[in-house]
Amino acid sequence: MTQIGFVGLGKMGGNMVHRIRRDSDHEVVAFDFDAKAVKKAVKKGATGAGSLKELVEQLGPPRMVWIMVPAGDPTQETVDKLAKLLERGDVIVDGGNSRWTDDKRRSAELKRRGIEYVDVGTSGGVWGLEVGYCMMVGGPPKAVKRLAPILDVLAPETSEQSSDAIGPRGWLHFGPAGAGHYVKMVHNGVEYGLMQAYAEGFEVFDKCEYELDKAKIAHLWGQGSVVRSWLCELAARAFELDGNSLEAIEGYTEDSGEGRWTIADATAHDVPTPVITASLYARMRSRGDGEFADRVLAALRNQFGGHAVKAAAKK
């Protein structure tokens, strides 16, 4: 049995706590500034905490605390506060979308306090509760080994032993601090390109001379086609829920930063990334007057990650 603290109980964090408690005997102490989110986690079997201090006090040493809050200042502030509460030998895990360079800096700063740092790039969105999460891990081997029982539960149930015997398929330790989020960063850059290709293809269907059922096309492509994928399945679901023209959705698509970071690092290494770059620019364009492809992009992000969509203005 492993004990872990969880900070951040939003769409992904809350589901991860639920999966850990539902599928294992591991103990979770959960905290969020939203008291309702804490109560929900308690109903799923976690122990609630009313503050970071209370969370740390309820964990037995050596402690592990998993942070699942927005990247940037919220994550940094949480790390800074925990660093003052934790002790030598404890571990901080960042499962958000931090930039890998921030991981390297935090790891070095925490090491001086005797606290270890693990970065876990996490993919799976709102569907991870049922199908599991793909996790890309960086950090000290001993700390990752301690975290492994939690990663095993969060990974897909159909996991098989990986080639390096570190963990099951569904999570993998790639190297020192930053390596996990670096792999997740490129993963999201690739995701941008895949989504854009689907969006553009369905816009061609939208403008062609035939009356085509886009949901049926997406379902058909999922049956043996070389372009079948989970994103294609989600496209079918989006068309079924929001209609063949996605009229209720405004074609406004945010980006969370990973695509930009991927392009910047690729440029630094003289690696051309025309598809990822074009897909990022398409998202930027969508913040004007969205076309059909932009509505598809917005619908896909909503389907896999629960990202908010903007309702189209009524005509």
Per residue of the chain (315 residues), give pLDDT as tens.
999 999 999 999 999 999 999 999 999 999 999 999 999 999 999 999 999 999 999 999 999 999 999 999 999 999 999 999 999 999 999 999 999 999 999 999 999 999 999 999 999 988 999 999 999 999 999 999 999 999 999 999 764 444 454 445 789 999 999 999 999 999 999 999 999 999 999 999 999 999 999 999 999 999 999 999 999 999 999 999 999 989 888 877 888 889 999 999 999 999 999 999 999 998 888 877 657 888 888 889 888 877 766 766 555
Which one of the listed residues 116, 191, 250, 258 is annotated catalytic? 191
Cα diameter, the chain? 67
157 is catalytic: no
Q: What are phi and psi of 32, to 5 degrees?
A: -155, 150
Q: Do residues 136 and 187 make contact, with C-beta atoms less than 8 angstroms apart?
A: yes
Q: Which residue out of 27, 40, 104, 184 is catalytically annotated?
A: 184
What's the burial of 126, exposed, middle or buried (CB within 10 Å: 0-12/13-18/19+)?
middle
Q: Which amino acid is at 117?
A: Y
| Those residues with Cβ within 8 angstroms of residue 191's Cβ, 6 or more apart along the chain or in another chain | 231
The yes-or-no answer on residue 214 being catalytic is no
- For residue 156, how many other CB atoms are within 10 A of its CB? 17
Rounded to whole angstroms, the Cα distance separating 302 from 128 reads 14
Classify residue 147 as exposed, middle or buried by CB count within 10 Å of its CB (0-12, 13-18, 19+): buried
- pLDDT score, position 168: 53
If 0-12 CB within 10 Å is exposed, 13-18 middle and 19+ buried, where does residue 220 land?
middle
- Does the pTM of the predicted model rise above 0.75? yes
Q: What is the pLDDT of residue 255?
A: 82
Q: How far apart, in Å, are the Cα atoms of 202 and each of 69, 129, 145, 283, 291?
A: 34, 29, 44, 16, 11
Q: What is the pLDDT of residue 159?
A: 45
Task: Name the 3-class secondary structure at 307.
Answer: coil
Instruction: Decide if 120 contacts 91 (C-beta within 8 A).
Output: no
231-268: b (≥16 Cβ within 10 Å) or e: bbbbbbbbbeebebebeebbbbbebbebbbbbbebbee
pLDDT at site 94: 98
* Burial of residue 62 (number of CB atoms within 10 Å: 0-12, 13-18, 19+): middle
- What is the number of other CB atoms lying within 10 angstroms of the CB of residue 210? 5
